[in-house]
Amino acid sequence: MTNKPIYLDYNATTPVDPRVVDAMLPYFSEVFGNAASNDHEYGLEAKRAVDAARAQIAALINARPEEIIFTSGATESDNIAIFGVAERYADKGDHIITCVTEHKAVLDPCKRLEQLGKRVTYLPVDGDGRVDPDAVRKAITPETILISIMAANNEIGTVAPLAEIGAIAAEHDILFHSDAAQAVGHIPIDVEAMQIHLLSISAHKFCGPKGIGVLYRRRSNPRVDLAPVIYGGGHERGLRSGTLNVPSIVGMGKAAEIAKREMGAEAKRFRTWTQQMYQRFVEEIGDVVLNGHPTQRLPHNLNVSFTGVESRALIVQLAGAVAFATGSACTSESVEPSHVIEALDADETRVHSAIRISVGRFNTDAQIVSATDKIVDSVGSLKQLNALLATY
């Protein structure tokens, strides 16, 4: 029996699936070879495991195994994609198109490139957090070399029109990158159908281990060339040098295999939970605003603002009962308001009252009901307190 709060922060990270742990365990001490050591059986066993994981991950996004480049996670993958394109295609142009609601792993590299003399267009989003494909088209110049639009937003769960943007990029012979850390393993992502050239993934967002990720790099039609960010040995087709983390790679492969098989059923369960929670908030609290698109959103994400209730106060009051967030886990220590909620043209009250709830594989029906009860009660008590304080 545990007294820990109910975990509803799966957008931040997920527990590692026990089946993934079981797959990883032999590669710590039994099959411990270096996958780059091909002169003996120890290394060959490790290489075979890595190759199998490449195939499992490739199958999840409809890619080829040789297009899978292992990294430490989506942040590193984003950096390799953005800096790699900027350097390799500098003779073609110096302009990048992205979006104001991107993760900092995309925004910060873009800001750095601006400091180095590159030009970046930051597209706005509509009130639901979606980029208009026509805005992407209009932003293209003869010097545009990369479009980087995230697949699904990490705070509000809005899913981008990737196929439409991919078609525009292909039409203009421009590379298309997507940070898909929140999407892969939760909704279908098809790099061929969506005409994506570069895709960033983190294993820990779909019940795999932390510290391992992938950069999908298209190898043909067109072949994408990248300048490496890490040098020293030429691992991962020269793009990411360093001894491969075989246990975690095996774990990511297993997590991808499970996600491909179970993602559809999970999405239905998660969407039922988030819809039930939102419906209860509307009926029992009333002053609640849904942040993000009403339908084109991740099934496991629910971002809402409770009018008149500070999100930090709610989190503190529920700290021992329910674990959720005010926004991105990567910026939770910052006192700055969410740049994502602000981009929705939200007023200050809505920005400071936004919370992100994200459900996942190891939640239960009973937990969802209990967590909803606790949130409803807490919001009610905080509203009463605020009303009382207003009378003084």
Which residues are marked as active site?
Answer: 330
Tell me phi and psi for residue 115, to 5 degrees: -65, -25
Calculate the alpha carbon distances from 58 to 50, 135, 258, 278 in Å. 12, 31, 13, 35
Contact 322, 307 (CB under 8 A): no
Q: Reduce the DSSP state of residue 137 to 3 states and report it.
A: helix
Taking each helix axis from N to C end, the angle separating 104-115 and 74-88, rounded to the nearest 10 degrees, works out to: 30
Nearest alpha carbon to residue 205 among 214, 218, 196: 214
Nearest alpha carbon to residue 273 among 370, 376, 185, 208: 370
Which alpha helices (H) appear in the chain, and where do they start and end? Answer: 18-24, 26-29, 41-61, 74-88, 104-115, 133-139, 162-171, 246-284, 311-317, 339-343, 348-352, 365-390
Q: How far apart are CA 312 and CA 166, in angstroms?
A: 38
Contact 252, 53 (CB under 8 A): yes
Calculate the alpha carbon distances from 154 to 80, 209, 302 in Å. 20, 18, 11
Contact 11, 182 (CB under 8 A): yes
The DSSP call for residue 174 is -
Q: How far apart are CA 8 and CA 12, in angstroms?
A: 9
Residue 134 burial class via C-beta count within 10 angstroms: exposed 0-12, middle 13-18, buried 19 and up: exposed
Is the link from the previous residue into 222 a cis peptide, with omega within 30 of 0?
yes
The DSSP call for residue 211 is T
